[in-house]
Structure 1
Amino acid sequence: MDVFRALKSRNFRLFFYGQSVSLIGTWMQKTAVCWLVYRLTNSAVLLGVVSFVSLIPSLLLSPYAGSYIDRHNRYRILMITQIISMLQAGALALMILLRNYNIPGIIFLSLVQGVINAFDVTCRQSLMVEMVEDRDDLPNAIALNSTMANFARIAGPALAGIILSTFGEDFCFVSNFLSYVPVLISLWMMKIVLPPVIKSDRSIWAELREGFHYISGDKDLSSLLLMLSASSLFVIPFNTLMPVFAKDIFHGDAKTFSWFESAAGLGSIVSAIYMAKLKAGKDLVKILITASLIFSLSVLLLSLSGWLPLALLFMMMSGVGMMAQTASINTYIQTHAIPAMRARAISYYIMAFQGIIPVGSLLTGLLAHFIGPRLTVLVAGLAGVLATVVFVHYRRKLNDSTGEGGVHTSMPAQAA
C-alpha cells in the first residue's frame, strides 16, 4: 500500500518492527512511573518534577548531541544508546521488584534516561535518511515512524492500565526492560552503509555555533522552531496533569488514567496516517496552523469537560492536533535542511520539542498547585491559541517582506 511504501527498505523495516515493541514497553513504563509517583505522593508538583528531569537534558544537550553525531558513526552511537537504555530500564525494574519505592531514586533514573535520549532521539532521526533506500520515501518514513510511536502511545498505556490493576507496577517495568531485546536484534541485523565520517579540524563548539547561525539565519526554520517551542512550553505539558484528572476530577483509577493516554494516542495515529499520505506540494505551514488550532481548542475544551466520555473525545482531538503540528515541522526540517547540517537542525527540533516540555511540565505542576488543574489546563489552551495567532501574523509579515515566492513552505516534489 502507498501509505506503507517506506517499509520496502529492509533497514527501515527492521528498525520499524524493533522500535514498535520497544516503544510499547517505554509507554508502559512511563504510565507506571506517573501513576506510581502520584499514588505514593498525591503531588502534582512531583509529577511535574519527574517529567522535568526526564526531558530537561534534551534542552541542555541536544545541540551538542547534534554536533557530536555529525562527527561520529551514527549507527554505532544508536547501538550504544539502546544498550544503556536497557540497563537503565533494568535498574528501575529491580528497584520496583525489591519494593524500594524511592522517589529520589526514580527521579535520578528518569534523569539518566533523559541524558540518553538527548543523543538517542537525535541519532535515530538523523539516521532515518540512511535507512530509506529511496529518498522519495523519506517523508513517508518520518510519518510511519510517528505512527509507530503513537500506536505505542495507545497500546502501552492501555496494557499498563490492565497490568497495573491486575499484576502491579513491577510487571510494567520488567516488560520495558525485556522490550529492548528485539530492538538490539533488529539493529544487529541491519546492513546499513553510512557515508564516511569526515574528521573536522574545528572544535565541536565551533560547529555548535555554525549550527546555531544556520538555524537562526533561515527564517522558515527558525519561525517553525519558535512555534514548536511555544507549544512545548505552554500547551503540550497539560498532559502532566492527566493522572490528577483521572484520579481526582473523574474519580477513577489507573485504568482511567490509561484511557486518557490511549485517547491521545488514538488521535495521534489517525493524524499520523494522514501525514503519511501527503503528496508533494502540500503546504506544511497551513497544516501546522490548522493543527495548532485544533490542538489548543481541544485542550481548552478538555478543561471545561465534566463528563468523562466528552473529556476523552477532546483528549483524542488534542492528539490529532499535536501529532500533525510536530510531524509537519519535523518533515519540513528533514526535507529542507542541507545534509551537512541535518543532525544539527534535527537537534534543534528535539530541543524545541522535548527540551522545552520539561520546563513547561514543571511550570504546569506548580501552577496547578496554586490555581488547580482545570484552570491550569484552560490557561494552556488559551496560550496555544494566542501563540498560533502570533505565528500567523509573523508569517504574513515574512511573506510580505520576501515576496510571494520568497518563502517555501510546501513539501519539495522530490521528497514527496
Structure 2
Amino acid sequence: MRWPDALRSLRKRDLRLFFAGQSVSLAGTWMQGVAQSWLVWRLTRSSELLGVVNFLGQVPVFLFGIWAGSIADRHPRRRIVLLTQTNAIFQAVLLAALTLAGVVRPWHVVVLAGMLGLTYAFEIPARQALLADIAGSDAPNAIALNSSIVNSARIVGPALAGALVAAVGEGFCFALNALSFAGTYYALVKMHPPPQPRVEGGRRAHLLEGLAYAGRTGHVRALLALLAVSSFFAMPYQALLPVVSAEVLHGGAGLYGLLLGSAGAGALVGAIGLLLRNGLAGLGRRVALGTTLLGAGLLALSFSRHPVVAGASLVVAGFGFITQMAGTMTLLQGLAPVDMRGRVMGLFSTLFVGVTPFGSLAAGFAASRFGAPRTIGAGAAVVICASAVFHLALPRLRRTVLAQHPTLFPPAPQ
C-alpha cells in the first residue's frame, strides 16, 4: 500500500504496529482519567482533593523522570515499556474492582493515582525514545502522527467516559481501560526495534552527562523552560475542569467530557497541521505561537459563563497546547544525539508531566480561595508573558542551532 506523504511514517511496519496499539489503548486511558476525576468530585466535592489526586498521579514523573531517561538509554526500551504497561493494567483492574464493588473510597483513588504516576515516570521516556528509534529519519512525522492519535483519543475518550459515567458509573470506564491495553501489548511483542547504542561508564556519570548536555545547549534550555512555565501555570486547568463544569457552567459529567473533548479537537487540528510539515525549519516559531494560543484560550475560558464559549476557548487552548508540546518534542528529539534521546525525553517528561502536579496542587488550593475562573485566568496571563519572551529570543536561538547543525535543515524563507 502506498501511503500519502503526510502519513509517510506508516510505510514502516513497526510504526504501523506502534500506532495501532496506541490507537486502541489511548482512548481507554483518557476514559479512565475523566472517570477518575469525576469519581473524586462525586465522592468529596473538593477542589483541593482534585488537586491532590492530580499531584500524586504526576509527581513521580518529577521525582524519577531524569533517572528514568537514563535507564531508557541504558536498557532495552521496548522491555521497559512492556513492564510499565503490565503495572498499568494491574492498576486499572484494581480501581475497576473497587469501584464496581461499591467500596471505593477517596484514599483508594489517591493511592492508585500515585501507583499509575510511578508507571508513567518510567514509561514516558522509554516510549518516546522507542518511537524515535523505530521512526528514524521520519521521526518528525511520526511524532506528529502520534500526537494526532493521542488527541483523537482525547476527543473520543472523554466523550465516551461522560456518557458511560452518566449511564453506568465510573467503574466500567476503568474496566474498559484495562482491556484496552491488549492492543499496545501485542504491538510491542511483535515489533523489532533497531539496537540501541552501547553505553559506557557508570550510571551516575551517564545521568550527569545528560544534564550537562541540556545545560550547555541553548535551544534545549529555552524550550524546556517555556515548557515548564506552561506545565505549572496552564495545564492545571484540567484539574479544575470538573469545578468549572459543575459550579460555573452548571453541568454534569457529560459536559465535563465534552469540554475535554473540545480541547482534544483543537489539539487534533494542531497535530494535523504538524503532520503536513516537512523538516524542522520554522518549528520554533510554531512553538512560540502555540504557547501564546494556549494562554489566550485559557484566558478566554476564565471569562466564559456559557458552555459554547467555554468549548470554543478550549479548542483554541488545545490547538496551542499540542503545537507547543509536539513542536518542542520534535525539536528536542530531532536535534539530540541518538544516544541522548532517553535522557532528553526524561527531562522533557519531568518538566512537562512532572511539573504539572505542583501547578495542580497550587491551583486546587487557589481555586478554593479565589475561585476556579480567577485561578485559570492568572495562570494564562503568566503563560502569555512567557511566550512573548520566547518570541523575542527566537532569532538568537535560531542562529545558535544553525551554527551547530548547518546541514540539518535549510534556513526558513525570508
Q: When the two structures are superposed, what TM-score results if normalisation uses the length of structure 2?
A: 0.94
Q: List per-residue Cα deviations over 1:23-56 (Å, max 9, x = no partner).
A: 1111101000000101111111111111111111
Q: Distance in 2 between matches of 1:281 and 1:174?
A: 40
Q: Distance in 2 between matches of 1:384 and 1:409?
A: 31
Counterpart residue number, 1:277: 276
State the 1:406 CA deviation: 4.2
State the 1:305 CA deviation: 1.3
Q: Distance in 2 between matches of 1:375 and 1:213?
A: 39
SS of equivalent to 1:376: helix
User: Where does structure 2 lack aligned partners over 5 or more consecutive residues?
Assistant: none
Q: Distance in 2 between matches of 1:398 and 1:286?
A: 11
Q: Distance in 2 between matches of 1:410 and 1:55?
A: 38
Against the structure 1 CA distance between its residues 357 and 410, is the aligned structure 2 distance closer, same or farther, given a 3 Å change threshold? farther
Counterpart residue number, 1:26: 29
Q: Distance in 2 between matches of 1:127 and 1:182?
A: 17
Counterpart residue number, 1:327: 326
CA contact (8 A) 1:282 1:410 kept: no
The residue correspondences of 1:132-171 to structure 2 (distance < 5 A) are 132=135, 135-171=136-172
Q: Would you say 1:181 and 2:204 are equivalent positions?
A: no
Counterpart residue number, 1:15: 18
Identical pairs, percent: 35
Q: Distance in 1 between matches of 2:94 and 2:25?
A: 17
Q: Distance in 2 between matches of 1:174 and 1:405?
A: 49
Q: Distance in 2 between matches of 1:412 and 1:366?
A: 46
CA contact (8 A) 1:284 1:410 kept: no
Counterpart residue number, 2:221: 222
Against the structure 1 CA distance between its residues 84 and 297, is the aligned structure 2 distance closer, same or farther, given a 3 Å change threshold? same
CA contact (8 A) 2:218 2:400 kept: no
User: Where does structure 1 lack aligned partners over 5 or more consecutive residues?
Assistant: none
* AA of the residue aligned to 2:95: L
Q: Would you say 1:258 and 2:257 are equivalent positions?
A: yes
State the 1:209 CA deviation: 1.1
Q: When the two structures are superposed, what TM-score results if normalisation uses the length of structure 1?
A: 0.94
Q: 2:106 aligns with which of 87, 103, 108?
A: 103
The residue correspondences of 1:11-90 to structure 2 (distance < 5 A) are 11-90=14-93
Q: List per-residue Cα deviations over 1:162-183 (Å, max 9, x = no partner).
A: 1111111111111011111121
CA contact (8 A) 1:284 1:411 kept: no
Q: 1:412 aligns with which of 395, 409, 413?
A: 409
State the 1:90 CA deviation: 0.9
State the 1:115 CA deviation: 0.7
Q: List per-residue Cα deviations over 1:135-190 (Å, max 9, x = no partner).
A: 33211100111111111111100000111111111111110111111211121222
Q: Distance in 2 between matches of 1:297 and 1:277?
A: 24
Counterpart residue number, 1:366: 365
Q: Distance in 2 between matches of 1:129 and 1:173?
A: 30
CA contact (8 A) 1:332 1:411 kept: no
Counterpart residue number, 1:205: 204
State the 1:310 CA deviation: 1.1
Against the structure 1 CA distance between its residues 101 and 203, is the aligned structure 2 distance closer, same or farther, given a 3 Å change threshold? same
Q: Would you say 1:120 and 2:128 are equivalent positions?
A: no
Q: List per-residue Cα deviations over 1:357-378 (Å, max 9, x = no partner).
A: 1111111111101101111111
Q: List per-residue Cα deviations over 1:49-93 (Å, max 9, x = no partner).
A: 111111111111011001112111111111111111111111111
Q: Distance in 2 between matches of 1:233 and 1:37?
A: 22
SS of equivalent to 1:368: helix
Q: Distance in 1 between matches of 2:155 and 2:406?
A: 31
Against the structure 1 CA distance between its residues 380 and 408, is the aligned structure 2 distance closer, same or farther, given a 3 Å change threshold? farther
State the 1:291 CA deviation: 0.9
State the 1:198 CA deviation: 2.6
* AA of the residue aligned to 2:227: L
Against the structure 1 CA distance between its residues 404 and 368, is the aligned structure 2 distance closer, same or farther, given a 3 Å change threshold? closer
Q: Distance in 1 between matches of 2:238 and 2:77?
A: 32
Q: Distance in 2 between matches of 1:346 and 1:363?
A: 25
Q: When the two structures are aligned, how many residues end up with a matched partner?
A: 407
Against the structure 1 CA distance between its residues 398 and 183, is the aligned structure 2 distance closer, same or farther, given a 3 Å change threshold? closer
The CA RMSD over aligned residues, in Å, is 1.8
Counterpart residue number, 1:296: 295
State the 1:395 CA deviation: 4.0
State the 1:403 CA deviation: 7.5
Q: List per-residue Cα deviations over 1:287-342 (Å, max 9, x = no partner).
A: 11111111111110111112210110011110000000011100001110011211
